[in-house]
Amino acid sequence: MENGSLRGIRQRDGSYALFLRVPGGVLGPEDLEHIGRVAREHDVPLVKVTSGQRLALIGVSEEDIPAIRADIGCGEGAAAGPGLCFVQACPGSLACPHGVQDALSLALALEEIHRERAFPAKVKIGVSGCPRCCAGSYVRDVGVVGTGSGWTVTFGGNAGGRPRIGDVVAEGLDRSAAVETVACLLDRYEEGARPGERTARFAERCGCGRTAEQDTNRQER
């Protein structure tokens, strides 16, 4: 698969789960047939769609991992260590009747820009095509939400054991400004966070989600 990557994580029974990153959560019929064929050929016991729109091939033995990677046609993905976990996207204005912005194409662009980067801890991005926020943007490390007046960008969200709603960093952005804002936030996080520190904790410690000027503007509204 041209844009896929397949990372392996050890499971509680000693087998491995291989996580296939699926940019934008979009798979064609050929991709599905191909993955199904490889799963059958290697006797993969379970294939699961994850909450981050990845496919998990669960129950793989360690020695089968290289062959499965080769047969699926993708590597391990980003360099060893934490990086971009996924860019989750809803269908947005491409298909959803509520969509006001093109979430899918923005998500694919963000995936392309940041897919190989290494970060202090894993980074999850959610892009939603309207304020209903089906891609969980407010609880992602970086969230992008479409509105009638452009894109809202959030930072420092987390849906885990210490959940946190992301800080609104900017609103009413056009697409290129949204892309730029996401890049600036991730640069700042990469430079300033401690090893293993997720964006939620980093935002609490450093308040780096918003600039002082943005905070002032928001208080005045």
For ligand SF4, which is the closer residue by CB, 133 or 179? 133
- H-run or E-run covering 37: helix 29-41
Task: Give me the least distance between CB of 114 and ligand SF4, in Å please.
Answer: 21
Q: Which residue has the tokens 């730029």?
A: 180
For ligand SF4, which is the closer residue by CB, 14 or 97? 97
For ligand SF4, which is the closer residue by CB, 121 or 133? 133
- For residues 23, 84, 138, 156, the Cα torsion angle rounded to the nearest 10 degrees is -170
Nearest CA to 88 out of 55, 141, 131, 126 is that of: 126
Distance of CA 101 to the CA centre of its chain: 18
Q: Are residues 88 and 124 in contact, defined by beta-carbon separation less than 8 angstroms?
A: yes
Nearest CA to 64 out of 48, 44, 40 is that of: 44
For ligand SF4, which is the closer residue by CB, 84 or 90? 90
Query: How many other β-carbons are positioned within 10 Å of the β-carbon of residue 135?
Result: 27
Half-sphere exposure of residue 61: CA atoms within 13 angstroms, side-chain side: 4
Task: Give me the least distance between CB of 211 and ligand SF4, in Å please.
Answer: 27
Nearest CA to 77 out of 144, 160, 18 is that of: 18
Task: Give me the least distance between CB of 89 and ligand SF4, in Å please.
Answer: 8
Positions in the binding site for ligand SF4 (CB under 6 A): 90-92, 96, 98-99, 103, 128-130, 132-134
For ligand SF4, which is the closer residue by CB, 138 or 202? 138
Task: Give me the least distance between CB of 135 and ligand SF4, in Å please.
Answer: 6
Task: Give me the least distance between CB of 127 and ligand SF4, in Å please.
Answer: 9
Task: Give me the least distance between CB of 111 and ligand SF4, in Å please.
Answer: 17
For ligand SF4, which is the closer residue by CB, 5 or 137? 137
